[in-house]
Structures are given as C-alpha cells and as structure tokens.
Amino acid sequence: MAGAFLTPLVDVLAKRMNHPRARDYFALAVTVGTLLLVVDMATSVLGGDILVYKLGGWAPPLGINLAVDGLGLLVGLIVAGISTLVVIYSFVFMRQESGLGQYYTLMLLLTAGMMGVAFTGDIFNLYVFFEIMAISSYALVAFRRSKISIEGAIKYLIVGSLGTSFILLGIALLYGSTGTLNIADIASKLAVINTTSGSTPLISIIALTLFVVGFGIKVGMIPFHAWLPDAYQAAPSPISAIMAGGTAIVGVGALLRVSYFIFGAPMVGPLLIGLGLVTMVLGAFMALVQRDLKRLLAYSGISQMGYILLSIGLGTALGITGGLFHMLNNAVYKSLLFLAVGAIIYRVKTSRIDELGGLGRKMPITAGIFLVGALALAGMPPFNGFASKLTIFLAGIDAGYPILSGIAAIISVVTLAYMIRAFIAVFLGPQTGRFENVKEAPRSMLFPMMVLAAVCVVLGVLPQLGFSAVEPAQEVLLNPSSYIGEVIPGA
C-alpha cells in the first residue's frame, strides 16, 4: 500500500534508455504498476477508510503526510488509467519524432506530479507537485518545437506560472494566519477562527480568491482560459488527451480539496456556481465557431468544466455526486475524443474541419469511436454523459435553482449541435481525392480508444458503478471532519 506513494520516486528513475523499445515498455510498466497500486488501494478506500502515511515517521502537523481519501482516490484512478492508455497510444503516434527519451520521461513526470497532487495531505507539498505537473506539461506542449507549439507553450507557461505563484502566495497567507501547513490542521484552525469571530476574516477571503484563480487557470475557467485552446492545439494529440483528462481533473480535485476542506462549502459555493455558469455558456458558444477540431474540443472541454464546477458549487449531496461523476465521465470521453482526433491527424496530417470530409468510409472504427465520444459529450443516452448530466439537472432542481438546470440543458443541446456538425463535416459528406489512400488507424492506437469507448458505454448502461466510485469522495467533501480526525488524532 505504501508503495503507491513511491511512484514519484520510481518515475524519477525513469531515465533515458538506449534500447528504443525498452524505454517504451518501461514507461508502460511504470504506468501499469501505478494503476495496479491505485486499484489495490481502491478496495479499502471505497470501503470508507482513509489511508494515512506519515513520510519519514514525523507526526502530521510537523512532517508531511499523504492521505488517500475518496477524492484523492477518484482523481488518482482517472490519472493512472488515462496515462496508461496514452502511453500505449504514444508508441505508434510519436514514433517518427526525435527525443523520445525526453518525451516518455516527461510523461512519467507529469503522471507523478498528478498523483502527488491527488494524494498529498500537505499544502506546500501540493504546490511542489503542482509545479512538477506544470513544468512537465509546459515542456510537453513545446515538444514539437514548431511555430505554433512554441507559441502555445509560452502562453501556457506565462499564464500557468502566474497561477502557481498565486497558489504560493495563498499558501503564504494561510501560513501567516494559522501557522501551519497541514491541510487538515489548517482546516480545523480556520474553522475555529470563523466560529469565534462570526465572520470570515479578509485574509481568508483573499487566500481563497488566490487559490481559485490559481487552480482555475489550470482548469481553464472562463476569465483565465485564454491559454488553453492554444496549448491544446499546439500539443501533440496524446498530450492534449492527458491534459484534458488528467491535469484539468487534477486542477478540479485540488480546487475542491483546498476550497471545501479549508474554507468550507457555504463560502465557496456561490463563487463556483457563478464561475461555472459563465464557463459553461461561453465555452459552448465559442466551440460553435471553431474551425479546428482540436480547438473545438478544447472549448467544449472548458464548457464541460463549467458543468462540473456549477454542480459541485450547489453544495448538496446530489450536486457534488453529479459533479464528481461528470468529472470522471468527462475525463473518459474527452481523452477519447482527443485520441480519435490524433488518429485522424496521424493519417491525414490536418485537423482543420474544412479540409476534412468523407473519412467515415476510410476509417470506420475511428468514426464509430468518435461518434460514441461525441454523443457521450452531448449527454445522449445510453452513454455515460447522459447519466451524469441528468444527475446535474436533477441536483439543480433539487437545490432550488431550476433556472440553472434549464440553462445547463440548453447548453447541452448546443453541445450536441457542434459535435454533430463536426462529425458530419469530418466523417460524412463527399470524399475528396486527397484521401484516397487513407487507411484505418494502427491497432495500438485503436486499442486505447476502444477501451475508453467501452468505459463510456459501461458507465452509461450501469451508472451505479460510477456512483459507487464517487460516493466516498462526495462524503469526504461534505464532511471533512472525518478526514481531519484521521490525519490529526484528537484535533
């Protein structure tokens, strides 16, 4: 069990190797190992336990501890699963690139950073792992070194490091006001401060704002989203997939952990609802006018993040369940769609919608998989997006905001419109002569896509599976005191 916490260590050792294939398989072995360890922990955490591991044996407020609760487990599971599939996908997709040693090392470091953010119980440690994740993703976006990838990476780097600096400033303010760095300890001390003074002091509000801006930049919330489509378009497709299905999810997870644990739901809720609403609506309308498939997916990813934040901001049990379930589903179908677009780019070398057409006959499996992803994204039954979006609508009505549910439903129709438009433009319609020799994507690229598509269908037909996975996360968010008690006995 404790071995799972050593994944960062293992990944540091993932140095470049001389045999070209050995390095691929090593990367795969590490991610599969990580996945197995997370699944191993899943059994006990889903049973309601919280695993606490004290690094170096120092007691929590002094030393650093790792704590795996429902939320961390959910995020860790998504990250480990997606990165395993993306590594398999990269075998063929990246074969013609140079510098693959660095590519796989950075990929493993990215995974390590995401796992660290998911599991850590110390707020400064969270910052350190967030930086590992951020720096490796900057380098991966720039990996191709073409004009657009350098431009995308620079924008991402400047905005992203502004965000991480804000997080550091927030941590400094919290240390200044509470004198501790352990998440559970900060939470209990801030609760004391809030109850004795009757209101929230200004410094907590400022710190919360800094955290929301900092994590919001990584998530791609609307006022801070400008870097995201550029970076997603510029990155190699597997990286876009891991960023959409991994880093964005980790950003949401970290935002939830910090905001709900430390500051409490009533303070965070309205903020998240507002930002989520704006993000959802504007993201969908910007997706409507995109001409590039990857940019379209990037904007629709922003819009889906809006759904998640909106639903979680409601603060009711149903809302949080719906939001977390949607987070799981979103990771699955969004990375599926990016991988499918990657397959198109691999065969056709372009992702501009106007240049594509009639690919359905040449690449039937990719077309089918893309359709599954598109329908799941739009929330059509029997795919997983339907179950979680329905939960979000019900939660909105249940919490007394039927208007929010109405807007969410309208946006869902808009989503269906732009996804169907993209599908028709790319896969149906007349075949142009250019694509005579286009073949189906190679098998090792189809395999990860098929796995993800299967997950879409399974979670759509049996939503109980998804609900049982997010249930512990929802409980721990609504009731952080069990987490606090587990980390610091007697607090």
Partner 1 sequence: MKRVLTFGMVVAVGALLIFTVSTDLLPFGSFPQRQVGEDIKNAIGQQILVEAPEDTGSANVVTSVVWGYRGYDTLGEVTVLFTAVVGVLAVLRAVGKRE
Partner 2 sequence: MDFNYVIAMLLVALGLYCLLLKRNLIKIIIGLAVLTDGIHLFLISLGYRAGGTAAIVSGEMFLDLPGFAAHAVDPIPQALVLTSIVINICILALALSLAIYAYRHYKTLNPSKMRRLRG
- Interface with partner 2 by CB under 8 A: which residues? 124, 128, 131, 135, 138-139, 142, 145, 147-148, 150-155, 157-158, 161-162, 165, 168-169, 172, 175-176, 181, 229-230, 233-234, 289-292, 295
Other C-beta atoms closer than 10 Å to the C-beta of 150 total 14
Number of H helices, E strands in the chain: 20, 2
- Mention every residue, 6+ apart, whose C-beta is less than 8 A from residue 353: 290, 291, 292, 293, 296, 422, 425, 426
* Residue 294: closest CA among 375, 351, 354: 351
The span from the first CA to the last CA of the chain, in angstroms, equals 25
Residue 399 beta carbon to partner 1: minimum distance, rounded to whole angstroms: 31
**Residue 128 or 345 with smaller CB distance to partner 2:** 128
**Residue 117 or 305 with smaller CB distance to partner 1:** 117
Give me the residues that bind partner 1 (CB under 8 A), please: 8-9, 11-12, 20, 55-56, 58, 61-64, 96, 98-100, 102-103, 105-106, 109, 112, 116, 122, 124-125, 128-129, 131-132, 135-136, 138-140, 142-143, 145, 169, 173, 175-181, 185, 189, 192-193, 195-197, 201-203, 206
Instruction: Choose the contact partner of 109 out of partner 1, partner 2, none; CB within 5 to 8 A by kind.
Output: partner 1
Residue 270 beta carbon to partner 1: minimum distance, rounded to whole angstroms: 20
Instruction: Choose the contact partner of 18 out of partner 1, partner 2, none; CB within 5 to 8 A by kind.
Output: none
Q: Which two tokens stand for residue 435?
A: 């694509």
Residue 61 beta carbon to partner 1: minimum distance, rounded to whole angstroms: 5
Write out the DSSP string of 316-384.
SHHHHHHHHHHHHHHHHHHHHHHHHHHHHHHHHS--BGGG---TTTT-HHHHHHHHHHHHHHHT-TTSH
**Residue 171 or 395 with smaller CB distance to partner 2:** 171
- In a 13 Å sphere around the CA of 358, the CA atoms on its Cβ side amount to 11
Write out the DSSP string of 467-486.
HHHHHHHHHHHH-THHHHHH
Instruction: Choose the contact partner of 161 out of partner 1, partner 2, none; CB within 5 to 8 A by kind.
Output: partner 2
Residue 421 beta carbon to partner 1: minimum distance, rounded to whole angstroms: 32
Element holding 308 (H helix, E strand): helix 293-313
Instruction: Choose the contact partner of 98 out of partner 1, partner 2, none; CB within 5 to 8 A by kind.
Output: partner 1
**Residue 352 or 361 with smaller CB distance to partner 2:** 352
**Residue 165 or 479 with smaller CB distance to partner 2:** 165
**Residue 136 or 405 with smaller CB distance to partner 1:** 136
Helix 293-313 to helix 402-427 angle (10° resolution) is 160
**Residue 22 or 289 with smaller CB distance to partner 2:** 289
